[in-house]
Structure 1
């Protein structure tokens, strides 16, 4: 029997074993029962760890992040030698049967299913009430994060049309004979996400440090800041951005040249990969590294590189070891000069090192300062916006002077600072669509020029045909099954 929303029979799952990459995922009920998986404290711990393995699959967070950058205009995909990865996404040729949308849809609902199993079984598990509440909060934070990925990918932005069709909210374990939830509105989706995150904020243990890559109260506040930014609730966005970055100070400028693989005190939430637990060549760094060790198929456009002033240390993130380009031997982070390679400039922000233990920064304090700056500028408090913006600029730009821009000029400066600080971390296309800006890609920067205005159907992904064929779910306007 086919199941809709990639949700399998209820009450069964596979628990991460701690050896290799065994995912916590739904299985037919004849396999491992959920009540067994949560029957001892050790198994509960393994199950909760297993939820994070569902995020680290190569087809989920990695490809979502890379898709949002390659669509956003600041990067270009190699015209040839791209291994057919992200080719559909770069050209905006996604369809119900083409592109990565199908795996995004599948993997998000797999994670949601498993968080619902955890939420159902944790109250019955043999652990302390305090630990139950902590784990319940963590499961709900993960459920909110997964729903947020879906609504951003498959529905028009909240700021564009909050009453547009959203994505199905799944708030409980669904059995074989249960009806499948339909699509509500974008607003309903965000209301659900907020409820989960506010519960997590109130209930998650304040003793969590985040060193293991799991959610902390700071990370939940950071997600709330992102959600409120999407919803244009500026005061709440600013407030939660400040809470998120508390205790996570911006690090010295030199850390921006260390390869973005080892967490530092600025990383609020980290996705952890180990040398014995990783996705090999299908990692974010692989597509952006400059030496053709990994895929090395993403390039910076000329116009984007030119946004970085000579005294901005982030310009040196594009400098490469010229000897290593030729020989593949040497120090990958030695920075001799910038180099145009085929369709764009090589990037050297992320280090694709041999051990493959390439941790991913899911949230940094720099982002929180920029959320604060944007929100304060929208509230008309330009002085506070300038202060938050200057924190990021002063770290990166030698001799930086605090902005005196106001109004639209200040908003544009903050927007551009987000581009320079957060490129390669999966924000660019989201930022364009939520701010209701037109994507304009032109030659010679791009071999596929394109203009997409606010509300264009191609700004969001189609519902996969594998889903609509079974459920009859409403397809997104503009797409044909």
Structure 2
């Protein structure tokens, strides 16, 4: 996806395109706006800007904060001991997420403030593209529509990430009337009145509307270089819509969207015999990938950053911060293939004032040069199973769970008893480290429980709680008088 020459051209543009909540936007001189106009006045400039929006989005989701957040808070992830120095063997929370891990994040200095600001920056970039592409001449309708489709999907995806992090799940209130997020459909100019937060109901309606509109615009026209899974297309946008519907609890639409992807995407589940080796491949994603944003590389092909920064293992003196929790490891049956997706290594750990070798489990999903896994086909089967459960199609639900369990060589379900529990467990085992389990627990109204290896000051968070979501950064509240803070912050 990423074209280095295009990124170089984009360097000036990224200094000019700023989000609604950045104070620098208010201070821009008219000349800056002219520069944006010049940049976006051609098809090439628009494509360069779209490429830049993808690069910003990849950096935002692959960043340490978002990449580990949902699994860390829900108990799938814990920490490794310090490798060297005076603190060797000690286990402490990663500095960038320490307050979040303890459920003590502060609005005044939120661990997630950069994610919040970057998300709205990406949204503003997509809005600029949508506005300027309508003014272009000497461009075919196919080209125009493809640009609109991808920009709309980027906008919807960024808002969807935000509503999961900063608003309670859809069914938190009976009519989803609780506070959602600001949904930004236009670029903001100097002197505008800043918008207020929408309800969660309206937020989801806007996300779904953007995705449905995008699906109408998609074609087979290719705008950017790289594999099709590294940018949005009709198939993975349909898959994203399925996820939005299932988070909303819209069972029929979730079923239809997931079923459409399963039957018509041309992608098949990675077979059992290749499942482990596919995850272990360097550089390339697993074959059933629907969306993985390509990692940045320089002109020599050197990687600028990957998920291995947080999950990788090189040696007993060189490893990343995050490993699977014992809670997660203990969920897998002995014969479950997915139990082989962990690299067990003994690391020197301080135990009762003495250094001892203690086993830690690094995920094989993110070794070598892995990108951020956006959506896989296996999730579509689990979404279809959940939608079937909501529609009271219990045999269908069981069958889809068993498709995933059979691929993993796990024991198959032989009845339709306790399907909700079985489904949530299967999502945890199949999609661990892929950034969903916290949101799964929230929308199923379950407690957050961290057991073995928990070093948080709060290892159990009972549902409901205001701490299932994060505070709006104080700097943004200061800028926008119409912005309200989340409860408990």
- Is 1:89 paired with 2:91? no
CA distance in 2, matches of 1:364, 1:312: 19
Secondary structure of 1:268's match?
Answer: strand
Q: How many Å separate the matches in 1 of 2:477 and 2:159?
A: 19
The corresponding residue for 1:447 is: 455
Query: Does 2:242 correspond to 1:225?
Result: yes
Inter-CA distance 160–256: structure 2 relative to 1 (3 Å threshold): farther
**1:159 correspondence with 2:171:** yes
- Are 2:375 and 1:352 equivalent residues in the alignment? no
SS of the aligned residue for 2:365 comes to coil
Structure 1 residues 264 and 445: alpha-carbon distance in aligned structure 2, compared to 1, 3 A threshold: closer
Closer, same or farther: CA 58–281 of 1 in aligned 2, 3 Å: farther
Alignment equivalent of 1:173, drawn from 182, 187, 196: 187
Deviation string for 1:94-134 (max 9, x for gaps)?
A: 11023432112101110111111001000112321111011
Counterpart Cα distance in 2 of 1:312 and 1:108:
37
Q: Give the match for residue 436 of structure 1.
A: 445
Pair 1:157–1:71, CA change in 2 (3 A): same
d(CA) in 2 for partners of 1:221, 1:24: 30
Which structure 2 residues correspond to residues 307-456 of structure 1 after superposition, within 5 A?
Answer: 307-320=331-344, 345-353=360-368, 357-397=369-409, 400=410, 402-407=412-417, 409-442=418-451, 444-448=452-456, 449-456=458-465
1:17 and 2:6 matched:
yes
Q: Secondary structure at the match of 1:286?
A: helix
**Deviates further, 357-366 or 288-297:** 288-297
**3-state SS of 1:461 partner:** coil
Normalising by structure 2, report the TM-score.
0.83
Tell me, in whole angstroms, the C-alpha distance in 2 between the residues paired with 1:375 and 1:454. Answer: 23
* Conserved? CA contact 2:398–2:413, under 8 Å: yes
Contact 2:56 / 2:122 at 8 angstroms: preserved in 1? Answer: yes
Q: Which residue of 2 aligns with 1:70?
A: 72
Distance apart, 1:21 and its partner CA: 8.4
Scaled by the length of structure 1, the TM-score of the pair is 0.84
| 1:289/1:352 contact within 8 Å kept | yes
Match of 1:259 in 2: 280
Alignment of structure 1 residues 92-103 onto 2, 5 Å: 92-103=103-114
Match of 2:351 in 1: none
- Distance change (3 Å), C-alpha of 1:147 and 1:276: same
Superposed CA RMSD in Å reads 2.8
CA distance 1:131–1:282, change in 2 (3 Å): closer
Change over 3 Å in CA distance of 1:194–1:59 after alignment to 2? closer
Say which SS state the counterpart of residue 123 (structure 2) adopts. helix
Match of 1:203 in 2: 217
Q: Residue 347 of structure 1 aligns to a residue in which SS?
A: strand
Give 1:477's aligned residue.
487
1:55 and 2:54 matched: no
Correspondent of 2:255 among 218, 238, 245: 238
**Given the superposition, is the C-alpha separation of residues 95 and 218 from structure 1 closer, same or farther in structure 2, using an over 3 Å criterion?**
same
Larger mean CA deviation between 99-108 and 445-454 belongs to 445-454
Relative to structure 1, the CA distance from residue 358 to residue 402 in structure 2 (aligned partners, 3 Å threshold; closer, same or farther) is closer
Q: Secondary structure at the match of 2:230?
A: coil
Q: Is the 8 A contact 2:99 2:106 kept in 1?
A: no
Q: What displacement does 1:295 show?
A: 5.5
d(CA) in 2 for partners of 1:375, 1:94: 34
Unaligned residue ranges in structure 2 (runs of 5+): 19-27, 81-89, 349-355
Greater RCO, 1 or 2 (C-alpha within 8 Å, sep 6+): 2
**Against the structure 1 CA distance between its residues 478 and 396, is the aligned structure 2 distance closer, same or farther, given a 3 Å change threshold?**
same
Stretches of structure 1 lacking an aligned partner (at least 5 in a row): 1-14, 327-339
Per the alignment, residue 12 of structure 1 pairs with: none
Cα distance between partner residues in 1 of 2:60 and 2:149: 26
Go from structure 1 to structure 2 and tell me whether the alpha carbon gap of 1:165 and 1:58 turns closer, same or farther (over 3 Å shift).
closer
The 1:279–1:406 alpha-carbon spacing in structure 2 relative to 1, beyond 3 Å, is farther
Paired with 2:439 and 2:304, the residues of 1 have a C-alpha distance of: 25
Contact map agreement 1:112 1:143 (CA 8 A) in 2: yes
Q: 1:478 to 1:153 in 2, by over 3 A?
A: same
Q: Distance in 1 between matches of 2:245 and 2:446?
A: 18
Shift of 1:236: 0.9
SS of 1:113's equivalent in the other structure is helix
State the Cα deviation string for residues 24-78 of structure 1 (Å, max 9, x = none).
5315353463332222332222111111011122576552131111111122234
SS at match of 1:362: strand
How far apart are the structure 1 equivalents of 2:65 and 2:401? Answer: 29
Q: Distance in 2 between matches of 1:87 and 1:281?
A: 25
Query: Could you tell me whether the CA contact under 8 Å between 1:16 and 1:22 is conserved in 2?
Result: no
Count of matched residue positions in the alignment of Structure 1 and Structure 2: 442
Secondary structure of the residue aligned to 1:311 is coil
Contact 2:71 2:433 in 1 (8 A): yes
d(CA) in 2 for partners of 1:474, 1:446:
32
User: Please, which moves more after superposition, 251-260 or 450-459?
Assistant: 251-260
Q: For the residues of structure 1 that align with 2:10 and 2:366, how far apart are their CA atoms? A: 22
